[in-house]
C-alpha cells in the first residue's frame, strides 16, 4: 500500500459511522473498500481537501427507511465552519459498485462545492426547488470535472427516467460550458 492509500484507509476508518442497530455495528468491508476507492479516484487537490480536513465530513450508514431514498448530504453550520454529513442507507451498500460510486461522487460534489445548510436556502417553494435543482447539477458537474463522468452517468441513468437523465446531462454540459467561458 502506498502512503496515499494508507492515508485514505485511515481517513475512511475515522470518518465513517454506522447507525445500524444490530449485533455487528461495524461498516461492511465492501462498503469501506468502495469508499476508499472513491477517495483514491479523486484528483489530488480534491483529495487533499478531505485528508487535510479543509472539508469536515462524516459518512453515516443508516438503516433503511420505509421508502427508498438516494444518498443525501446534510450540512451543519458551526462557528468553526461548515460540517458535512453524507448519509448512506443500508440498502445502498448492496448496490452495484459503479452505481454506489456514482451516487457517492455526487454527494462529494456537494461537499466540495460547499453546499449550504437547508435553512439558508431560499424560502419560497419555487425558488427553493430551482435552487435545489441547480445545486444537484453543480454537484454532478464536479464529478465530470474530476474525470469521473462514467460513474455520474451510471448513477443518473439508473436513478432517473431516461428523459430526466438526458435533461440533467444537458444541464451539466451547460454548467461546464459556462465554466469554460469564465476561465
pLDDT of residue 138: 96
**pTM flag (> 0.85):** yes
Q: Which residue has the higher pLDDT, 123 or 4?
A: 123
pLDDT band at 167 (very low <50, low <70, confident <90, very high): very high
Q: Express each pLDDT in 22-44 by its tens digit.
A: 655 578 889 999 999 999 999 99
C-alpha neighbours within 13 Å on the C-beta side of residue 143: 27
Instruction: Give tens-digit pLDDT for 101-154.
Output: 999 999 999 999 999 999 999 999 999 999 999 999 999 999 999 999 999 999
The reported pLDDT for the residue numbered 27 is: 80
Compute the distance between CA of residue 104 and CA of residue 40 in angstroms, rounded to an integer. 13
171-183 pLDDT, tens digit per residue, is 999 999 998 888 7
Q: Number of structural domains, the chain? A: 1
The pLDDT value recorded for residue 24 is: 57
Q: Is the pLDDT of residue 20 over 80?
A: no
CA distance 164 to 63: 28
**Band of residue 58 on the pLDDT scale cut at 50, 70, 90:** very high
Structure confidence at residue 163 (pLDDT):
97
> Residue 81 sits in which domain range?
3-180
**Helix-strand-coil percent breakdown of the chain, rounded to 5?**
60, 15, 25
Tell me: the pLDDT tens digits for 66-111?
Answer: 777 789 999 999 998 999 999 999 899 999 999 999 999 999 999 9
Distance between CA 136 and CA 139 in Å, rounded? Answer: 5
Amino acid at each position: 500500500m502506498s502512503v496515499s492509500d494508507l492515508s485514505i484507509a485511515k481517513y475512511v476508518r475515522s470518518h465513517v459511522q454506522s447507525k445500524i442497530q444490530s449485533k455487528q455495528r461495524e461498516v461492511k468491508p465492501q462498503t469501506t473498500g468502495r469508499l476508499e476507492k472513491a477517495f483514491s479516484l479523486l484528483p489530488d487537490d480534491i483529495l487533499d481537501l478531505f485528508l487535510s480536513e479543509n472539508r469536515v465530513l462524516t459518512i453515516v450508514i443508516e438503516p433503511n427507511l420505509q421508502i427508498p431514498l438516494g444518498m443525501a448530504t446534510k450540512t451543519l453550520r458551526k462557528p468553526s465552519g461548515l460540517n458535512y454529513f453524507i448519509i448512506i442507507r443500508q440498502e445502498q451498500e448492496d448496490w452495484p459498485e459503479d452505481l454506489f460510486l456514482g451516487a457517492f461522487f455526487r454527494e462529494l460534489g456537494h461537499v466540495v462545492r460547499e453546499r449550504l445548510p437547508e435553512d439558508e436556502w431560499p424560502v419560497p417553494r419555487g425558488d427553493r426547488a430551482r435552487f435545489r435543482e441547480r445545486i444537484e447539477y453543480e454537484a454532478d458537474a464536479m464529478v465530470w470535472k474530476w474525470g469521473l463522468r462514467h460513474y455520474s452517468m451510471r448513477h443518473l441513468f439508473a436513478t432517473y427516467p431516461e428523459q430526466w437523465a438526458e435533461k440533467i446531462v444537458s444541464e451539466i454540459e451547460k454548467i461546464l460550458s459556462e465554466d469554460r467561458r469564465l476561465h
